[in-house]
Amino acid sequence: MLRLIIILIFLALFLLFTIPYNLVKRLAGLFNKNLEGQLSLKISRFILKVVLKMAGTKITVIGLENVPDEAVLYTGNHRGFFDIVLTYSYCHRLTSFISKIELAKVPLLSTWMSYNLHCLFLDRKDPRQSLKTILEAIEYVKNGISIFIFPEGTRNMGEELTLLPFKEGSFKIATKSNCAIIPVTINNAQAIFEKSFPLVKKAHVVIEYGDPIYPSDIPDEHKKQIAPYVQGIIQETLIKNSKLIES
């Protein structure tokens, strides 16, 4: 419990710090928009790595070199609250996460997510709003900002090494912007918090970044249904990397 309390206090102090920081950042952005984005990215990565250090998380990263130096669509399996903390720590360019609308109601956190990280919020109960969010994400990619989405639509609370069906709409971001899809497989993230709730426990997490998949290169038989095609890749990787956790 002490580890969780320390992490929460640290994050609360950081979010309070963002109030004056946002003012400074806004001034910097008047002179250099690229500097503004890079500053937010570096600070966010640093803070999240500190959180992982506090949590005692050991991370094995595979295939990060597969990510091209361009805006991409990351698609990952979703098992725990720490998934965003884990993956954003390794984003090498400005990346927007598509998060559930409930997070938009959290004071300070929502401001940091939307203003500094350009995160988008998705209301799964409102199809019209969901479509609007997807269209915004397409424009983000066209403007050089990567998108990270969890196509399962929610945290998977089922058996380990299983996946919920991937939602096809998520992949319109790639097909409409012609960006690469990067399958991201996360093993054992739930061991940090969900398995020991309300405690934060030391855990070994494996993250693998797969080869980039460009929509135009997808086999013809899968082009109309990209979701199960990408899901199959992540499922195979999930099973393969489970052996690394066991060892």
Domain boundaries, given as residue ranges, for the chain? 2-246
Residue 170 pLDDT greater than 60, yes or no: yes
User: What per-residue confidence (pLDDT) applies to 43?
Assistant: 83
Q: Write the pLDDT tens digit of every residue in 210-229.
A: 999 999 888 888 888 999 99
Q: Quote the CA–CA distance of 88 and 41 in Å, as a whole number.
A: 9
State the average pLDDT for the chain.
86
Q: How many residues does the chain have?
A: 247
Q: Quote the CA–CA distance of 101 and 97 in Å, as a whole number.
A: 12
**Token pair belonging to 243:** 């052996």
pLDDT, greater one: 209 or 48: 209
Q: Write the pLDDT tens digit of every residue in 6-61.
A: 887 878 777 777 766 666 666 655 555 566 667 778 888 888 899 999 999 999 99
Q: Quote the CA–CA distance of 55 and 45 in Å, as a whole number.
A: 15
% of the chain residues with pLDDT over 70 = 90
**Token pair belonging to 125:** 């109960």
User: What per-residue confidence (pLDDT) applies to 37?
Assistant: 66
Mean predicted confidence (pLDDT) in 227-239 = 96
Q: Quote the CA–CA distance of 74 and 209 in Å, as a whole number.
A: 9
Q: Write the pLDDT tens digit of every residue in 107-152.
A: 777 777 776 777 888 887 777 888 899 999 999 999 999 999 999 9
Reduce the secondary structure of the chain to three states and give it as a string.
Answer: CHHHHHHHHHHHHHHHHHHHHHHHHHHHHHHCHHHHHHHHHHHHHHHHHHHHHHHCEEEEEECHHHCCCCCEEEEECCCCCCHHHHHHCCCCCCEEEEEEHHHHHCCCHHHHHHHHCCCEEECCCCHHHHHHHHHHHHHHHHCCCEEEECCCCCCCCCCCCCCCCCCHHHHHHHHHHCCEEEEEEEECHHHCCHHHCCCCCCEEEEEEECCCECHHHCCHHHCCCHHHHHHHHHHHHHHHHHHHHHC
**Beta pairing class for 72-76 and 146-149:** parallel
CATH no., domain 2-246: 3.40.1130.10
| Residue matched to tokens 């080869």 | 211
User: What per-residue confidence (pLDDT) applies to 34?
Assistant: 64
CA distance between the termini of the chain: 27
User: What per-residue confidence (pLDDT) applies to 103?
Assistant: 75
73 φ/ψ angles, rounded to the nearest 5 degrees = -110, 110
Q: How confident is the model at residue 179 (pLDDT cuts 50, 70, 90)?
A: very high
pLDDT, greater one: 204 or 1: 204
